[in-house]
Amino acid sequence: MFLPVLTCLAVLSDLASQRHVFLGGHVGFDSLPDQLVSKSVTQGFCFNILCVGETGIGKSTLMNTLFNTLFEAEEASHYQNGVYLRPRTYDLKESNVQLKLTIVDTVGFGDQINKEESFKPIVDYIDTQFETYLQEEMKIKRSLFDYHDTRIHICLYFIAPTGHSLKSLDLVTMKKLDSKVNIIPIIAKADTISKSELHKFKIKIMSELVSNGVQIHQFPTEDDAVTEINSSMNAHLPFAVVGSVEEVKVGNKMVKARLYPWGTVQVENESHCDFVKLREMLLRVNMEDLREQTHARHYELYRRCKLEELGFTDTDPDNKPFSLQETYEAKRKEFLGDLQHKEDDMRQMFVNKVKETEAELKEKERELHERFEQLKRMHQEEKRNLEEKRSDLEEEMNAFNRRKVAAETLMGQSLQASSQSFRKDKKK
């Protein structure tokens, strides 16, 4: 009786002793990170930046300064009828790392008198990129390995350096975008206001964002390697930046700067602006985190809402595991039922239309027949009147002819009598 129990215990003891296996030498799976790095470098990376701001606020200049190159860009006018987005993709290479960079500019943003719907084209563009990725993901034969991901990874929202407060357009637009994209607010052309005003302006901006419930991107602090730098950089938001592609000689070296009559503003001087902080956070430290946040947070939220709209759930009404095949069959039956119902409605509508048309045609035919009979009666009446007039005219013509003959006879008799009397008188 106790023998099976002892046997089970012995087996469990053997299993427990087999769980801890020590390697006798080097195997090699510790090279997995190196393999991932090599594969990623071979495949290349993509990064998509959305620049939102008014025309002339310095979006293109900052992008040129940020990537230390001159991108092709057309100057936009202030007379656009609406807001449209202009994406441009560039292939960059630094060392042996290739980057497919897409910069999306909001042309005409804030230039219209009625700015109520200025955010809508931006939201539609972001949703369109999510929808395109979702459609590719749901294909039977997918090609996500070499798929050009156009989802927006970061939105740089350019704030005009007024020194007072955010505009209503800024608050409304950021509120509409914060659940769809990582937003980093930046104060453009920060060299136009003093340091004291800039500090107060930053505090005012963050206070208004918090009071209006706008969620801007916070750099992650979970990783010990970047906790310290990201925590300090979160305290510097929004970044006050200055962009310039011109090099000015300061001391014994050439630096990117803006030259004014009163002095020089160096772009990479942290005491002048926060450009270096923005470049560090955006490109060197948190680029991969921004890509991951876009996929894991914003795209997943869009995907979940989209699938819920289509009726998909993780569990059925009985809290049983979700079956895609059963849901597909149910949706297919529901769709076919709706299609059949619509077909029946269309057929019934067609029959009703045919009946209505036949009734209208019969009514038109009756009216035409009545009209024809009426015209026929009128024609017969006119014909009878003409016959009567014709008979009257013929009688008048006959009477006229009789009178004419009588007149001619009378005239002939009178002429004859006159000639006879004339001859008699001549003889006498």
Instruction: Please state the rounded mean pLDDT for residues 136-162.
Output: 88
How many structural domains are present in the chain?
1
342-369 pLDDT, tens digit each:
999 999 999 999 999 999 999 999 999 9
pLDDT for residue 3 = 41
Cis before 185 (ω within 30): no
> Looking at 160-174, 220-234, 325-339, which range is the least confident one?
325-339
Instruction: Please state the rounded mean pLDDT for residues 154-170.
Output: 91
pLDDT for residue 259 = 84
Give the contacts of 323 (CB within 8 A, at least 6 positions apart): 316
> Looking at 5-19, 158-172, 248-262, which range is the least confident one?
5-19
pLDDT for residue 214 = 93
pLDDT for residue 175 = 94
In a domain, 249, yes or no: yes
pLDDT for residue 367 = 92
Residue 12 has pLDDT above 50, yes or no: no
pLDDT for residue 376 = 92
Query: pLDDT tier at 29 (50, 70, 90 boundaries)?
Result: confident
Residue 6 has pLDDT above 50, yes or no: no
In a domain, 373, yes or no: no
Q: Average pLDDT of the chain?
A: 85
In a domain, 186, yes or no: yes
pLDDT for residue 44 = 87
215-266 pLDDT, tens digit each:
999 998 888 888 889 898 988 889 999 988 888 888 788 888 888 888 888 8
pLDDT for residue 378 = 92
Please give the angle made by the CA atoms of 240, 229 and 152, to the nearest 5 degrees.
60
Residue 147 has pLDDT above 50, yes or no: yes
pLDDT for residue 209 = 94
In a domain, 384, yes or no: no
Query: pLDDT tier at 317 (50, 70, 90 boundaries)?
Result: low
CA distances (Å), origin 206, targets 148, 171, 185, 279, 363: 35, 11, 10, 21, 75
In a domain, 189, yes or no: yes
Residue 298 has pLDDT above 90, yes or no: yes
Helix/strand/coil (H/E/C) assignment for every residue in the chain: CCHHHHHHHHHHHHHHHHCCCCCCCCCCHHHHHHHHHHHHHHHCEEEEEEEECCCCCCHHHHHHHHCCCCCCCCCCCCCCCCCEEEEEEEEEEECCEEEEEEEEEEECCCCCCCCCCCCHHHHHHHHHHHHHHHHHHCCCCCCCCCCCCCCCCEEEEEECCCCCCCCHHHHHHHHHHCCCCCEEEEECCHHHCCHHHHHHHHHHHHHHHHHCCCCCCCCCCCCCCCHHHHHHHHCCCCEECCCCCCEEEECCEEEEEEEECCEEEECCCCCCCCHHHHHHHHHHHCHHHHHHHHHHHHHHHHHHHHHHHCCCCCECCCCCECCHHHHHHHHHHHHHHHHHHHHHHHHHHHHHHHHHHHHHHHHHHHHHHHHHHHHHHHHHHHHHHHHHHHHHHHHHHHHHHHHHHHHHHHHHHHHHHHHHHHHHHHHC
Domain extent at residue 62: 41-310
pLDDT for residue 23 = 65
Residue 8 has pLDDT above 60, yes or no: no
In a domain, 369, yes or no: no
In a domain, 71, yes or no: yes
Q: Torsion angle, CA of 360/362/366/369, rounded to 10 degrees?
A: 120
pLDDT for residue 428 = 67
| CATH code, 155 | 3.40.50.300
Nearest to 191 by CA among 252, 275, 105: 275
